[in-house]
Amino acid sequence: MSIEAPSSCHSGPASVSDSSLHSHLAHRFVPIHGSYQLARTLHQPEHAPFFRGCHVQPNNQPDTPPLTLVSTAGPSHRQPSEPIDTIRFLQAVTASLELDEVLNALNDFLYDLVAHSGWEYQCPTGEPCFSGGKSDPHRVEYSLTLNAQNLGVFRIKRGRRFSEEDQRRIEGLLALATPAIQNALRFWQVNRQLERDPLTGLGNRRALSVQGEQWLADSLRHRHPISMLVLDLDRFKAVNDTYGHPVGDRVLCKVAETLLAVTRTADLCVRLGGDEFVVLLPDSDLTNALECAERIQHALSQQFVETESDHHIGISASIGAAAYRSGMDFEQLYRQADEALYVAKSAHDRPVRTCQATSRSASSRRASAAETLRAE
Ligand SMILES: Nc1nc2c(ncn2[C@@H]2O[C@H](COP(=O)(O)OP(=O)(O)OP(=O)(O)O)[C@@H](O)[C@H]2O)c(=O)[nH]1
């Protein structure tokens, strides 16, 4: 597979300077001291080395001659000499704040211009990553920046090479779309914050309910199993009471770290609140869930948190497991796992260990959880 860099030949960021765009660009937003205001200037490319704070930077820093946005989709789409309808384009990419919808709108217009076969968008943080179409061998890649803010990387692919002209068209359209991508990215980030536990970085109750309902529906549709673990730390209150809340917080973070380390990336790890955690395991039946519970128990038994007074606080948790059975809803799945947890909790009573603590026997917990499930 070859990865093509944009091949145009003067250095500096891509600019949008097509005369067909000038009437629209005359009213574009221009950043002043970090904010935006309407401007009527900068029609000439030499005055606009980048798209007023928004620039599309080809990843190999190529040269970019003035841009002409012209459709190449052929007679069935648009006449070759007809410029892209920028108003329609801007309406399409700003019609939604959902990142996937913005990217789909962008790709519809890009397809009219360069007939690409696939695309990928990678956020600056690495996630989310959106993609569409297929993975053809020729590709161009752009780093998107707006007002010095990194907005990630956009790649487009197709079976034949992208000409310089194609690249200029892509860059022009990306430059127009970048503010919409930035807004959608912010929207995504805000939503993500709402679903994140600020202490541990895991998902929170909202994430569990949003994701859980969706995964359960997917599992039903594809007839795949799905299961859930509910964890509760043992004698966590005593940790807080003895060593203080900051140490308790570190224990919670250590548990979160351990859960992430021993579960699959496809699993959802959530802190429901206090010292209660949930792991949602798509494509997993009860046996898989119990194996995962055992891995978690074992991993936690190896962990400890060191206090300023050189105490080593071991971590122990009780775990309940349940697998989806026909007719259940998501709430019932949680309730079953929680009931199994309750049985597990009442079966043992261990003090908080300072120094390296061992967790409860995973197999006894597993048996207890499984028994609860089978008894129902
Ligand atoms: N450090 C810290 N403690 C918290 C947080 N949220 C809840 N807690 C504490 O977690 C403790 C939970 O106590 P319990 O539900 O009695 O749990 P436990 O002591 O583990 O009891 P068992 O589960 O029966 O072993 C309470 O002391 C809460 O104050 C938090 O964000 N940080």
The CATH superfamily assigned to 205-375 is: Reverse transcriptase/Diguanylate cyclase domain (3.30.70.270)
Its pTM stands at 0.62
User: Could you tell which of 196, 233, 236, 250 is best to mutate to test the pocket of ligand 1, judged by most ligand atoms within 8 Å of the CB?
Assistant: 236
What is the pLDDT at residue 354?
28
Q: Is 275 in the active site?
A: yes
Find the distance separating the first CA and the last CA of the chain, reported in whole Å: 55
Protein residue closest via CA to atom 32 of ligand 1: 249
Closest CA to 249 of 276, 274, 278, 231: 274
**How is residue 300 written in tokens?**
């936690």
Distance 212 CA to ligand 1 centre (A): 25
Q: Residue-wise pLDDT tens for the chain (376 aa)? A: 333 334 333 333 333 333 333 333 333 322 322 222 222 222 222 333 233 334 455 554 444 333 334 444 444 444 444 567 899 999 999 999 999 999 999 999 999 999 999 999 999 887 778 999 988 889 999 999 998 899 999 999 999 999 999 999 999 999 999 999 999 999 998 988 899 999 999 999 999 999 999 999 999 999 999 999 999 999 999 999 999 999 999 999 999 999 999 999 999 999 999 999 999 999 999 999 999 999 999 999 999 999 999 999 999 999 999 999 988 999 999 999 999 999 998 875 543 232 222 233 344 444 343 333 333 3
For residue 312, give both structure tokens. 């080593």
- 3-class secondary structure, 156: strand
Distance of CA 334 from the midpoint of ligand 1 (Å): 20
Q: Which amino acid is at 218?
A: D
Secondary structure E strands in the chain:
29-32, 35-38, 54-58, 118-122, 129-133, 138-146, 149-158, 226-233, 268-273, 276-282, 304-306, 312-314, 317-323
**So what's the pLDDT on residue 348?**
59
Q: Which atom of ligand 1 is nearest to the CA of 318?
A: 23
What is the predicted pLDDT for the residue at 349? 52
The one catalytic residue among 18, 275, 329, 338: 275
Q: How far is the CA of 286 from the centre of ligand 1 (A)?
A: 28
Q: So what's the pLDDT on residue 286?
A: 94
Cis peptide before 128 (omega within 30 of 0): yes
The protein residue whose alpha carbon is closest to atom 13 in ligand 1 is: 237
The domain locations on the chain are 19-194, 205-375
Å from CA of 293 to ligand 1 middle = 21
* CATH number of this structure's domain 19-194, picked from the four choices 3.40.720, 3.40.50, 3.40.140, 3.30.450: 3.30.450
Shared fold status for 19-194 and 205-375: no
Ligand 1-lining residues (CB < 6 angstroms): 199, 232-238, 240, 245, 248-249, 252, 274-275
